[in-house]
Amino acid sequence: MLVNEAVYSARSENGKEIKVKIPVGYHIKLHTLKVLKGQSISDTVEIALEKYFATHPFPDMPTLARSL
């Protein structure tokens, strides 16, 4: 997934909204889930990201700084 442009705006107290460009195939799959599950694309992506980051912990800052 390529983040071509990020536009930040306040979504809620504990969230930010970003705009990304994704391949058409991903959009079709997300829209299909929206129709079948009755769940918004935003909610679906949020759940997927939570699951991803739960299994792929973010490195601590010193380790991250060394890799840059």
Q: In sequence order, what DSSP letters do the residues of 13-50 get, joined into one string?
A: TTEEE------HHHHHHHHHHHHHH---HHHHHHHHHH
- DSSP, collapsed to helix, strand or coil, labels residue 9 as strand
Q: CA 22 to CA 27: how far, in whole Å?
A: 7
Percent of the chain with pLDDT over 70: 79
> Which pLDDT value is given to residue 61?
74
The pTM (predicted TM-score) of the whole model is 0.61
pLDDT tens across the length of the chain (68 residues): 444 444 444 344 577 888 999 999 999 999 999 999 999 999 999 999 999 988 987 777 777 777 77
